[in-house]
Amino acid sequence: MHTDRERCVRAVQSKDARFDGWFFTAVLTTKIYCRPSCPVVAPKPENMIFHPSAAACQQAGFRACKRCRPDTSPGSPEWNQRADLVARAMRLIGDGVVDREGVPGLATRLGYSTRQIERQLLAELGAGPLALARAQRAQTARLLIETTALPMADIAFAAGFSSIRTFNDTVREVFALSPSDLRGRLPRTTVIAPGVLTLRLPFRAPLNPDNLFGHLAATAVPGVEEWRDGAYRRTLRLPYGHGIVALTPRPDHIACRLSLSDMRDLPVAISRCRRMLDLDADPVAVDDELRTDPVLAPLVDKAPGRRVPRTVDEAEFAVRAVLGQQVSTAAARTHAGRLVTAHGERVEDPEGGLTHLFPAPEALAALDPESLAMPRTRRTTFTTLVTQLADGTLHLGVESDWAESRARLLSLPGFGPWTVDVIAMRALGDPDAFLPTDLGIRRAAQELGLPSTPAALTARAAAWRPWRAYAVQYLWATGSHPINFLPV
């Protein structure tokens, strides 16, 4: 969008928050960059230039605005609605792969050369993978500076910097303040316990929390997830350790409370929580498209801003999808809870009832199949899945190619269209995944006068592309299942 100068100027002059994260405004006279909704008086159009990323602004010599804090904008919805190389690379960078494995590790995961990845990222985002990862480190450092009492040296390494000097130089360059000045300038949240952070996760309005948190709470696995005191809480398996997160819906943000065993996992934990709650979506664009269908229009108008509830762990969700085949939500929770109790890693949760991490594929692959309380055919499906996840034959992650992953899943015994599509929608993040064989969808179709057979409904749903996963949320909402209601 940053190449459409006229449209960008209009967005800045109208301070339209819908475009925050889509592009950044760099002001030639002040050498700062802002989000489109910056509350200060808009600069003259001739003094504006537009960049597709904060990293591109920083590389061009601009510093972040102290008023609108562009580093706290929602992410671009582009990276969660596309499956091309650039989108997959951005999802991996957000997941901290460059900091942990370097650019060669990023290239290996994507199956391309480092040169090709750098060229494509530079062409579309104005910055290469190292610059994009550096911008993310700066944002993480600012969060830790302002929300914890950690010493600056600890913050430097927790944010992913290789040295304290690099940390100091980057913070000064990006924010035009030293780390100490940044901490002293703004009030910081009281630290309740070591390793506990309280953050605000921004999103583009509107956001309807009913189906989002209702779905997560209604399908919560005992010991791993719970709804407590108005918050969805769950354990997280992270690269350097584990964590516990509590997410509470607010009118203008999601309140996030994180407890981490290793602070280096902060950017990854935030990225995965944002992805699970679909916070980088553009609900206005989605809803406007779905409103063009006269059947969906009343559903959208009644409760706009529905998100697709996703996951923090793709492999975990695939296992849970198999456990949920042809059984009720309650039965699926029971099966998953038994696995967690028997094979999950224990964690301490002083604030609630979380007890375990969901078992890793390696632990599930080692269990005795005869101990599984499920039909033999589904037992074969389960053991085949966890074995291939454990040995790397099948990999499900943020970088997964949606079409390739679908084909691999369909080749597994016991994997039909429903299982593959629900994994594509909620684990892989395909915004166009559709579930024509789902019982709830077929009931909704019948009530709304839509075709009820899978083939006919799929043909009818072609008009909802590329947002059929969001149409699923509106169709599900016509029922009385607990997934559609915010717990009380």
How far is residue 449 CA from its own chain's centroid?
Answer: 34
Hey, which residues does 306 pair with through a beta bridge? 208
Q: Which of 8, 20, 34, 287 is catalytic?
A: 34
Q: Is 18 helix (H, G, I), strand (E, B) or coil?
A: helix
Radius of gyration (Cα) for the chain, nearest Å? 23
E strands, 193-295, where?
196-201, 225-228, 231-237, 242-249, 254-260
Is residue 16 part of the annotated active site? The answer reads no
Contact 219, 227 (CB under 8 A): no
Tokens of 162: 């290789």
Q: What angle do CA 237, 53, 168 make, to 5 degrees?
A: 70
Tokens of 5: 């100068």
Is residue 38 part of the annotated active site? The answer reads no
Distance (Å, whole) CA 470 – CA 434:
9
Contact 227, 209 (CB under 8 A): no
Tokens of 286: 């989605």
Q: Is 328 helix (H, G, I), strand (E, B) or coil?
A: coil
Q: Which of 20, 95, 432, 438 is catalytic?
A: 438
Distance (Å, whole) CA 66 – CA 68:
6
Q: Is 50 helix (H, G, I), strand (E, B) or coil?
A: strand
Catalytic residues: 34, 438
